Amino acid sequence: MRLTAEVSVTRGDREYEATLTIAPTETGDFKASEVCMSLVHPMDPESVSGARLVERKGDWHRLALAVPWSGDAPLVLGFRGAGRLPKVTDQPYGVYLVTPDGCVEVDVAGSARREVCQGAPVSGDGLAFVPRPQRVEVDGAPLGCPAALHFSGDAWNTDWLLRLWERFDEVEAPRLDEAGLAVREERAPALSSAFELSVRGDGIFLQHRDRAGFQAGQAYLMQYLLQWPLAGSLPACELAGEPRFGYRGVHLDVVRHFFDAGTIRGWLDVLALFQFNRFHWHLTDDDGWRVESRVYPQINETANWRGHGLALPPQMGTGPSAYGGFYTVADVRDTVERARSLGIEIVPEMDVPGHARALLKALPELVEADDRSEYRSVQHHNDNVLNPAMEATHTVINTLLDEWCELFPGPLFHLGSDEVPEGAWLESPTAKAWADRSGESPANLHGAFMADLEKAVQAHGKTPAGWEEIRTGERVSPATWVFSWQGVEAGQAAAEAGHPVVMTPAQHCYFDLAVTEDADDPGYYWAGTVDLSDVWHYNPLEGLSDEAQGRIQGVQACLWTEIVTTPGEAEFMWFPRLLGLAEVAWGSNRDGGYVEFEHRAGQWMSILAHLGIQGRARSMGW
């Protein structure tokens, strides 16, 4: 049985008033004692009518009904809270009733509008590359798509090409055959650009300066080879280019909502097409710990599952049934290998000391029983911060670092360090003892812990990184990379102070933010809206001294998944905005301006649709 409900919202300047009405059942043969739901902007407990708020953990609210409900008449609940709830994605979701026989889910009317781009025919006159290389020379003579291709040598990643071609529906792609059109490559260390690619009627030839140049040139060739069978014929061309930044990243939160390893690997195939070479894998947070631990199996058993009655309650609308998952050691290794084959380095993130509620629930020995500190995180948790003054914290985190550093061979290791709420540790006896020994405030434990972890990561031969808050107390050295997220200012300050910096300001790079202010257009809005033009026009070096500009390693798109529940929804938020950031990261030839880019983006959105990617339709506004 599933029930239905409607929500009505009255919006003030700073406060909302909402009514949730659950429709009566046909039978009315059960008694519900509680209503539970996810709500982004918490309700005021004193404002609730028809029930009493008895528990709130994060965005999960549990309300005891004033009178048990049997379903024979509408159930009406009223409440108020801070904020305006301007988006349909702000409304209560993951609603369910608790009855003696179990939980009953409630479908809430009103959903986000997601019009998906369709796979229109691809014109042979419209050869397009994203990001646009610095040099593109097109010969108007059309080349018919060959029946077969022959790749010489073992450098080519033909498995990648075949996986992409297999996604096409009712499109016949060339076969790989020794009698096919010759595809050759050659290393040329003295080449003036990273690569030069020539596609002619008598063959395809890629010259490259080094391995990175080969990967870049191969990605452009893959773009050509995807367009060729769709169009039937394309003009001959010559391409050459050099990336603007060495770090061209895409971040994905797999904690708030989980995406299996096969889905991740499929996305890597697509990201590599557009010259992205880093995948920042956000693997831990308050709501889950997504990497298998062989040392602490209780993490796998407890920290990865949310549901009614579990140690971690439902969050972000996941409802009463057990929700979650984790990546096994084999999953991680297979994904790392797929990324390596595509020229992508994986940057794992273990987010500490805040955002650690899942770990604390799995390992309660990390909780100090006598800690009376009072705090509330941005996500409304009061129990999500590790205590760096406890020896057990260091033992566990260093052991997990050992496990992770063996799994992830890349040079960069992200430690999170963001959003540690004010008030943590202030009433912890262990933290007070640390303060007495060090002569510092317990609040300084954040910076001290990051300095300790910096050394631990370096001992594994890796470079530490963190969000902009990793500079709290200025305890980490300039060797630590800083990811600027709340705006450009923190990144600029870190670069001027000597840190390598990745710019990922929300106003240009957070793709969980909505594209428009329309109520049914999904996404957050705390940093405004981010449309394709906002992304494409972003200049990461603006406002920096020449010396600091040299410390900007690159840019990164971030997708947080509180309201992104399926692979299709992730793709809807990513595309076409990822195409805009690809141009920023590569430093594309901008002849023709934004209008010309938007035309190329439109062509690629159609190609992506043929690949099964559910990008945002132009009709919704880009």
Residues forming the active site: 419
Q: Which of 99, 86, 78 is nearest to 32 (CA)?
A: 99
Burial 235-266 (b: 16+ CB within 10 A, else e): bbbbbbbbbbbebbbbbbbbbbbbbebeebbb
CB 349 within 8 A of CB 414: yes
Dist. CA 378–CA 467, nearest whole Å: 15
Indicate the SS3 state at residue 276: coil
Compute how many other C-beta atoms are within 10 angstroms of the C-beta atom of residue 172. 10
DSSP 237: E
Q: How many CA atoms lie within 13 Å of 478's alpha carbon, on the beta-carbon side?
A: 9
Residue 379 identity (one-letter amino acid): Q
Provide the token pair at 567: 């692979």
Phi-psi bin for 476: left (phi > 0), alpha (psi -120 to 50), beta?
beta
Dist. CA 135–CA 196, nearest whole Å: 9
Indicate the SS3 state at residue 513: strand
Compute how many other C-beta atoms are within 10 angstroms of the C-beta atom of residue 87. 20
CB 325 within 8 A of CB 256: no
Q: Which segments of 222-364 are extended strands (E)? A: 233-241, 247-253, 278-282, 284-285, 288-289, 305-306, 323-324, 345-352
Q: Which of 337, 224, 193, 215 is nearest to 272 (CA)?
A: 215
Q: 3: part of which helix (H) or strand (E)?
A: strand 3-11
